Amino acid sequence: MIHNRTAAWELLNKYMKNKSLINHSLSVEAAMRWHAVKQGLTDAEVEMWSITGLLHDFDYEMYPEPVAPNGHPFKGNAILTELGYPAEIKEAIMGHALYTGTPRISLMAKTLFAVDELCGLVTASVLVRPDKSIHTLEAKSVLKKMKDKHFAAGCNRDDIRQGAQEIGTELSQLITNVIEAMREISQPLGLSGVTAQSPQVTA
């Protein structure tokens, strides 16, 4: 089986229908691609990083429980194994969930862990802005939101901090990197901002 981005997108849409979850997958894919390009990796390696980000949660909607063997990401790992996906991709996806106990050895695995929760926090930070635009969002705003435990409570702050440490990137810089990556696909994500409505003309 060919394991390219097109095939990964088809697999994602086979198991995932929720628009918000799909957007999260696209966000993580963008962040992974951004980091791979910055590392100067080959086109094939960049695609592998992108596919890893795109598929990291593909089984979550159908199998959300964090238990083996039929929960996320254990079920997804079994599906990827059946489809012949590379070990590097499977190990990174397993490693993004701490409860699997899978060590993150590769930089790809560490980066996936670093950007996953952060993409969710960045998205939430954009959606509460008056302009709903990621193009005006700065890292300092996200850092401020991180301190508010009640904001986007589902985003694990400890994972974000640990992820930044694992890839050796200062937290503020990591946030800036993820924002930049997500800006590249702001329109598909619905994060380009609201446009001012023209006043209605009355007769």
| pLDDT for the residue 92 | 98
The CA distance from 72 to 67, in Å, is 7
Instruction: Decide if pLDDT at 1 tops 80.
Output: no
pLDDT band at 195 (very low <50, low <70, confident <90, very high): low
pTM of the model as a whole: 0.94
- Please state which CATH number belongs to domain 5-187: 1.10.3210
Structure tokens, 155: 């985003």
Half-sphere exposure of 70 (CA within 13 A, CB side): 1
Domain boundaries, the chain: 5-187
pLDDT band at 98 (very low <50, low <70, confident <90, very high): very high
| pLDDT for the residue 193 | 94
pLDDT band at 194 (very low <50, low <70, confident <90, very high): confident
Instruction: Decide if pLDDT at 113 tops 60.
Output: yes
| pLDDT for the residue 2 | 80
Distances in whole angstroms, Cα of residue 151 to Cα of each of 28, 147, 177, 185: 20, 9, 21, 24
Alpha helices in the chain (DSSP H): 5-15, 19-38, 43-55, 74-82, 87-95, 107-127, 139-147, 157-166, 171-183, 186-189
| pLDDT for the residue 143 | 98
- What's the DSSP call for residue 111? H
| pLDDT for the residue 198 | 35
- Tens of pLDDT, residue by residue over 17-70, are 999 999 999 999 999 999 999 999 999 999 999 999 999 999 999 999 999 999
- Tens of pLDDT, residue by residue over 61-70, are 999 999 999 9
Over residues 88-108, mean pLDDT: 98
